[in-house]
Amino acid sequence: MVNMISELFIIILIGHINTDSGTTPNIKQIVIGRCYEYITLVNPSYRYKCEEIWHEFEEAVVRTTPCSVRMKDYARMFHAASQTPPCDKLLFWSKTQALMQRNLAVIGSLWTLEDTLVGFMFKDLIWCGQQERDRGFDFLSCPEWSTCVSHPVYSLWKQASQNFAVEACGNITVLLNGSIENAFNRNSMFGSVELDSLNPRMVTHVHIKVVPNLKGPFVESCSKGSIVRLVRILQTRGFHWSCTDSDHSRRPHWLPLL
């Protein structure tokens, strides 16, 4: 058991190594290691076949050219890693990653996409296959997202985001950055995928929380800017909603008390 935990920590450390433009080095060891970490340490109530998940992922990526990996190509992998997130605990966010990372310890009761098995396994990784099919991963160079219609990384995250939103139920929270223009962007993953995948018959209430950076500026709010457009979309689709602006002078009140 001690050896197993030691190997997991080594794999986790490897996963933080920066890559250039090719597939993340040691990606197989990282992904399988994170999977075992998830089912043994992070969320031991789940049981998954980590090697099977990796196999289906690898097949989806390397059996086609780098710019031709569609969302549906990951179907078998997502089936092997299927997961139903808890009701009343889902947190959707857009352009607030730095704020999220600073407060991970105090939002532990809420689930983001990164708390799912797939999100946990593939966070911050890069991958693509060779130009010639069935030649394995390309560790030297992967195409930019903007140059691909069906980028292998984008397609996986788009499918993961869609699945996460489709399964949302009860009360959900949407966290937006009030320090930037277009805090709600229709072209973002939340605006273009997750929002349209939410089901008003399953989601009881949508609570929008607008949080600025620690030192501002204070650009958008519940009644100003792009967030007004988000509210209109929610109203049109029949969602019950509320919106809260963070109190700039005190601890952000969307954070639960320790």
Residue type, 199: N
251 in a domain, yes or no?
no
**Domain annotation covers residue 255:** no
Q: Determine, yes or no, domain membership for 211.
A: yes
Which of 87, 128, 148, 243 is catalytic? The answer is 87
pLDDT in tens, 64-106: 899 999 999 999 999 999 999 999 999 998 876 666 655 554 4
Q: What is the CATH number of the domain that holds 29?
A: 1.20.82.10
Whether 142 is catalytic is no
Q: Which residues contact 74 (CB under 8 A, 6 or more apart)?
A: 56, 57, 60, 155, 156, 159
Q: Across the strands, what pairs with 209?
A: 175, 244
Q: Which of 50, 169, 222, 243 is catalytic?
A: 169
257 occurs within a structural domain: no
Q: Which residue has the tokens 């320790």?
A: 258
Inside any domain, residue 258? no
Residue at 171 is within a domain: yes
In a domain, 55, yes or no: yes
Do the beta carbons of residue 206 and residue 240 sit within 8 Å? yes
Angle (deg, nearest 10), helices 27-37 and 50-62: 150
pLDDT in tens, 36-74: 999 999 999 999 999 999 999 999 999 989 999 999 999
pLDDT at site 10: 40
Q: Give me the chain's average pLDDT, please.
A: 86
Number of domains in the chain: 1
Can you give the pLDDT at residue 252? Answer: 41
pLDDT of residue 100: 62
**Which structural domain range is residue 53 located in?**
2-245
Bridge pairing between strands 90-94 and 203-211 = unpaired
- In this prediction the pTM is 0.84
Active-site residue flag, 87: yes
* 256 lies in some domain: no
3-state secondary structure of 219: coil
Q: Radius of gyration over alpha carbons of the chain, in Å?
A: 19
Q: What share of the chain is helix, strand, coil (3-state, %, to 5)?
A: 40, 15, 45
Look at residue 22 in the predicted model and tell me its pLDDT. 95
Mean pLDDT of 134-147: 90
Least confident of 56-60, 220-224, 229-233: 220-224
Percent of all residues in the chain with a pLDDT value above 90, rounded to a whole number: 69
Q: In 15-124, which ranges are continuous DSSP H helix?
A: 27-37, 50-62, 75-80, 97-102, 117-122
